[in-house]
A and B are shown apart, each in its own frame.
Chain A
């Protein structure tokens, strides 16, 4: 049973298409949902929670239909919204226990799990004080705790590091990683910050303007591109010309030459390396860097043609 499955999921608002025929199948893990602001991440989460009807298409979460079984889904998932959403005048303990009960836990279980969960997110003595006096980092932890209190099978985190300082971000990311790996809860982290997603996710779903760019294990997003990057101290045009003369595809860009490792039948990959070195020596160039080029997550959103090939 896939964790989440969508088929041609579409959400149109007057004048805007928030989701455009999105089809994706996801298995449990820490799933990064990346896209620029307004790419449709929050819309997708709300449809999956059964809070928003799609214009077209279907979605199932934990094998439950998002349109007809919303309450059943919401009993088994946790949701941490992007914005501030905590009442200032109650304590974290009181609030999280209450939300646990609203998730369907009996009173005793809600109290026990509140104590557990607040400890896991790292709130101690301060949990008895009103939330209004908390720092942003502490509030984020309370938001996470209320999403965890009922031991969900799946957690939706919408921009969980929003508003946090670098140390706070690190702690939040470490916490997310623990939840996914140690607690065994599937996590979907929506974020526009690729660098952060990269650190915790095992799988990545990239969307742009409501369309699926790519869904794949994180590693494949950063795999080798089949290109060699050669950086010099001086302009690289001559090197590129000489390589081209040897039948190797090479394009110069300032002090950098991008060399195609799989140029064709005539030159092998090792042959390319040899040729590059030979020409660098022949031209007496100062070599700064020689590396197999990898995809950058950012490439996804730069519209580079080759990244779209899944």
Chain B
């Protein structure tokens, strides 16, 4: 590092430069993992093919809300806007697809290629690493469980003749919108990451996530059809139904198509089931990552 301004060696100097700037420590490290995780989940900085599923599902998730709002604004009151509670259930099929495709990006390669010791030799702990990955996936999933519903909310308010009046009518729904969106995103991200952390390859991880949701959904549907008391356990084989029941318990508002409707189970049970699902997912993550050697 030459300090003389006229020296050509300033340009050609290949000497080692020390770093005297700030070190952001654990917070900086966690922030970096969340940021990189979010980018990976959305396929940013990767080839076009990596963007198809995340952006495709996000667009598909937004489309119904966007179109409905657009018609409402441009044409007028000819369509009924979706209710907030219906919306996430309606686009529910997109959630397993998004998680199956994107959650493996976050955890599988670090485990498979033994990258974790490189993380653990930095100013973070194991729990920080898992929490950061979980935050990244949860934030990405909010693009499906919260963003479209907020679009719907904005549409309802903005399309009204009496803006303030509409805002006053709708604003009470915001806690439910945020609460439901956050719970869905966090629980599904935890479940998805837990499943992926057990898989040896990304493809297996994706398959396992899809299997859990698809098989769960099919069993749930079958139990509902068969009836004879079995409909009361039907919601509990499907993570999305468990979450819908929890949403109803906390914020109210039924969804006709959900197996929760007609199951006749006390709503707090769904809250309990969600807690069990979340607890099992986090416990799986904790055990899985405790077993990783440094």
Residues on A lying within 8 angstroms of B by beta carbon are 46, 49, 51-52, 71-72, 74-75, 77-79, 81, 83-89, 94, 98-99, 101-106, 109, 113, 116, 119-120, 146, 150-151, 182-184
Write the nearest CB–CB distance from B34 to chain A, whole angstroms: 11
Q: Closest residue to A143 on the B side, CB-wise?
A: B118
- 7 A-B pairs whose Cβ atoms sit less than 8 Å apart in the complex: A85-B117, A86-B113, A101-B28, A106-B22, A106-B28, A119-B14, A182-B16
Residues of A within 8 A of B45 (CB): 94
Binds A, one of B120-128, B140-148, B222-230: B120-128
Contact B117 A104, beta carbon cutoff 8 Å: no
Q: How far apart sit A219 and B167, CA to CA, in the bound complex (Å)?
A: 81
Q: How far apart sit A84 and B121, CA to CA, in the bound complex (Å)?
A: 15
Contact B114 A83, beta carbon cutoff 8 Å: yes
Q: Closest residue to A82 on the B side, CB-wise?
A: B117
Q: Closest residue to A146 on the B side, CB-wise?
A: B118
Q: How far apart sit A86 and B113, CA to CA, in the bound complex (Å)?
A: 6
Contact B29 A103, beta carbon cutoff 8 Å: yes
Residues of B within 8 A of A71 (CB): 25-26, 123-125
Ordered nearest first, which 9 A-B pairs have the shortest CB separation?
A101-B32, A151-B19, A79-B121, A71-B123, A104-B23, A183-B16, A75-B123, A51-B294, A104-B24
Q: How far apart sit A88 and B17, CA to CA, in the bound complex (Å)?
A: 29
Q: How far apart sit A94 and B125, CA to CA, in the bound complex (Å)?
A: 22
Contact A98 B32, beta carbon cutoff 8 Å: yes
Proximity bits, B108-135, A CB within 8 Å = 1, else 0: 0110011101111111110000000000
Contact A81 B117, beta carbon cutoff 8 Å: yes
Contact B118 A81, beta carbon cutoff 8 Å: yes
Tell me what chain B mostly uses at the interface: helix, strand, loop, or mixed. loop
Contact A75 B118, beta carbon cutoff 8 Å: no
Q: Closest residue to B23 on the A side, CB-wise?
A: A104
Contact B120 A51, beta carbon cutoff 8 Å: yes
Q: Closest residue to A100 on the B side, CB-wise?
A: B32
Q: Closest residue to A99 on the B side, CB-wise?
A: B118
Contact A99 B14, beta carbon cutoff 8 Å: no
Residues of A within 8 A of B25 (CB): 71-72, 75, 104
Residues on B lying within 8 angstroms of A by beta carbon are 14-19, 21-26, 28-29, 32-33, 36, 45, 109-110, 113-115, 117-125, 294
Contact A102 B119, beta carbon cutoff 8 Å: yes
Q: How far apart sit A105 and B29, CA to CA, in the bound complex (Å)?
A: 8
Residues of B within 8 A of A184 (CB): 16
Q: How far apart sit A136 and B24, CA to CA, in the bound complex (Å)?
A: 32
Contact B29 A87, beta carbon cutoff 8 Å: no
Residues of A within 8 A of B124 (CB): 71, 102
Name the one of A84, A146, A150 contacting B19, with C-beta atoms under 8 angstroms. Answer: A150
Contact A75 B122, beta carbon cutoff 8 Å: yes
Name the one of B33, B109, B125 contacting A89, with C-beta atoms under 8 angstroms. Answer: B109
Residues of A within 8 A of B23 (CB): 75, 103-105, 150
Residues of A within 8 A of B114 (CB): 81, 83-85
Write the nearest CB–CB distance from B92 to chain A, whole angstroms: 30
Contact A102 B33, beta carbon cutoff 8 Å: yes
Write the nearest CB–CB distance from A145 to chain B, whole angstroms: 11
Name the one of A99, A116, A151, A183 contacting B122, with C-beta atoms under 8 angstroms. Answer: A99
Residues of A within 8 A of B15 (CB): 182
Q: Closest residue to B109 on the A side, CB-wise?
A: A87
Contact A103 B18, beta carbon cutoff 8 Å: no
Contact B113 A103, beta carbon cutoff 8 Å: no
Q: A89-B109, A150-B19 are in contact. Are A105 and B123 (CB under 8 A)?
A: no
Contact B28 A105, beta carbon cutoff 8 Å: yes
Contact A87 B117, beta carbon cutoff 8 Å: no
Contact B110 A87, beta carbon cutoff 8 Å: yes
Q: How far apart sit A309 and B21, CA to CA, in the bound complex (Å)?
A: 46
Q: How far apart sit A94 and B44, CA to CA, in the bound complex (Å)?
A: 13
Q: How far apart sit A114 and B174, CA to CA, in the bound complex (Å)?
A: 44
Q: How far apart sit A49 and B118, CA to CA, in the bound complex (Å)?
A: 12
Contact A103 B21, beta carbon cutoff 8 Å: no
Residues of B within 8 A of A106 (CB): 21-22, 24, 28
